[in-house]
Chains A and B, each alone.
Chain A
Amino acid sequence: MNGDLGNLLTGELGEAEARFAHDDFAGDYGQRIAGRVRRRRAVRAAGVGGGTMLTAGALVLGATQMPWGTLGAEPGVGGSDCATPWPSLGAPTYSVVIDTDQASLMNLSIMDASTGTLIVGGTRQAGGTYLFTDGYGDPLKAVQGEAGLYTVALPAGVTSLESTATDAYRSAAVSTNFLSVKPPRLVVSDDAARQARGECYTADPTFTPTPDAVTSPFQCGFELPTESLKSDDLWIDGAQWMDGADATAAIGARYSDDPSQAPEIGDSTNPVPVVTVHFAGTETGDSAAITWGTSEPSIDDIEQGLASDTSSLKGSEGATFVGVADGRVVATGNVHPDPSGNVPPAYLDLPSYEDGSFLYLLDQAAALTSCDANPVDFSSIDLYAVAGLIVKQPDGTVEGPTYAWLPVGEP
């Protein structure tokens, strides 16, 4: 315990314990808490430990039978009492909720029970997060909820889960220390579910991102589960503040060999935050071939930009600034380094992988775009630096996307 303050805190704890001694917490809240636990346990998803490939319940491919019944009206058709018909939603999206919060869980697999085909694979990453891929090794969109709970978009064509193989799965997982193994839970996108229930369409004039489409801190509506995130492969150092002239000089110095190639930076006198992003996950020397910039990393960048190089590790990296309010992204970065000479609102400089990449925010107002129709209210948002990384190994294995973020703070 640390000195006087520790003793005072101990005293405060004892005092508070005396205050609560006469509360009937179990009587007042016990039933409600137990009910909440029961409901949450009822929707726990399956996890498989020890890297063992196991069958996680039968998966029915191509069916549309949902837990609450067959999907109702076709897209574009509203209920008979609805004044406004539903817009076409296209194919409804399906996700599976997977619980990875088990100490022994390293990898998991969801397989078609009848054919043994891999449907979803999950691999624990160095930072403790999970990468989910389909049967071809391509990454699947996944949203991380509270600790260990992921909502993973199912590959196209997989529209239903059948839960009758629970017992088989449970017996197969007996080597792990799970107490309550249940099949992954299938969920359908909110709009499709509402339409299936016969609810009327209501247009929302405000920004309402589709939850299962928001998968990264680069996107509007992303809820940051923690104030900051880092991993061994990707992390961001806290912001250093420079005045505009120093930032201009620092960036210009990178073009000393050919100053004509330097971007026009202007003469801002405002304080410029500079964060250092460390893409250690792609720090592999000559074997790395990377696309990078201020946009979100993507497999498309890797495949299209580096298709001719099949022998080395390939990666896509990105870093930018976003605006956050109440833990949610409400303004996104909208610029890329512009080699044509225009003033870049944000500038990403990569001197070396050892020293990290330097991300400058030269023009805050121009660098961020609001997620709704209103201008960005800089007095009500916190500025965050975000970064992402995807790596594709020579054998085709995809690692990532891995994300990191950090509040920029004040000068």
Chain B
Amino acid sequence: MPALDYNGAATPTSNPYNSNQVCNYLLVGQGAALIEAEMLVAPRYARLRRLLLSQTSPRQADVLLVAGPVNLRLRKALLRLSRQLAAPYQILEVGNKVGLPDPKQSLYTQTESLAKFLSGVHVHTALQDKLITPPQIAHALHALPPLPAAITTNKQATEGPGDLIPQRSSEDREMATEDLTLSLGPLHPAIYGPLRLILTLDGEQVVAATADSGYAHRGLEKAAEGHPPAAVIAYGAALDGLAPLAGAVVVAQALEAIMLPEAAKLSKRAIYLRVIALELERIASHLFTTARLLRTLNLDGKAAQVLEERAKVVSALEIFIQAVDNAAVSAYIKAGGVRNDLTPAAFRMLEEVTGRLRYWTEQEFTPPDLFGWVGRYAFESRLKGLGIIDTDTALEYCLSGPNLRASGIKLDVRTVAAQTNNYNDISSVYQELGFEPIVVKGGDAFSRYHQRIAEIAASTSLIKKALKRLPAGSYQYKLELDELKPQFGMVPAEASSLIESPRGLLVAHLALTLVPGKGLVVERLRLRTPSWAHYSLLPQLLVGERLDDALVVINSLDIAPDEAER
């Protein structure tokens, strides 16, 4: 594999950039959202975008790019989708073993290649067990064999569009309007990740909605059982592709609560470093959600600018945690501390990024800058009053995170000292930094949009303060996990911990037990994910909205299907 320079300076001859073959791809799967965010808009892939064009319809795609793990339900959906492609086409599967530290453990995730189920079409598999970056995908796409020659005959009927028009039944002949049942997802261009909703439409208005989950379920908690304690952090990190660190931290905290001796304290420096990483990740995630909302509104240009910012934040994060590639992000968090200390280069990078972000948030992310108030009015009219969650509903459905605070409830786990036996509580650091939860009133999509932007600003200032007050000391606990001898017998030792992930309240409950012959293993891991609560509210929230508004509402809630379904 030749070294590729994707900054466009000197390109070797084997570089796919030099081939002039345009590739239309349709990106689906659990990893699609992240890859698309990188690939479509990040400036460093501008040259890539010339040749790799994302399509929204399967009819115009050359390559169906399946990113991330495929579970059994999603596989059926993919089989159907592959029949809608126009010949000649190929299917490229990337990273289908990513998402679980050990994919063979899971009963739900398919580890065989799709090629087994699709004969007669060209299925290729690449980069099975790595997390994927756009250049890698570009390379894999260009490494594909040439498309088979175009078939000129039109004899063979292909799969028609899925949604046939329902015929009216004879018993239902009153002059009432007829409902239309529309399946939104799991592979819909405006929905990120395999999320499916079955909408009943009256005209364009949603009269009923049903959530159909299960396309992203990987059996993460079950798969974690039986592993040694050191491995369980990786399962927490696999929870959410957009925020691996939050999952890793919450599991690590639970682990520390069990394993570390009663008197032991994590060094303040380690917690500060964790806070910086978490806040950077929160900024990146919120920027991504904002961009996703903007793209739903067809504001691709503005979304691109936001995603550029995100790319900078992500690269700062990568430098901060000294990640070699994406796969190493979660390895930063270790039980008892973090993997590496803050380097001077990372310090400079963080200062630069926070400076930029301050500039950005001062501009208040006014996305449409056409004629001032015209653009602003158009933008607000698409968001205001949509998907209103009042405080009662928000509490009733156990919402958390920005969605809850956008409904006017001042609750942020970062300021709440944990009620569990976790004595190395991260909230004390937030209190030291003088963090106050941000609350925006209104509860509609516009409030949620503003909530996220305000939280980006708050996180920026948190990072600045943390860098300023970073205490000296060790960044790791003095002993490795293996050397610890926790004092309990066959009764499982349990601990919970909670954290404010970018999407809300993330709780991990971990039980370790001593198995003769195997030593200390994970008895049970339970993760309470914030997106699941938002997902369950979604059907109720959509009723009464129009179809185009419904997509705005879905994207304003920031539901990560892989996180929700674990």
Q: Do A and B bind each other?
A: no
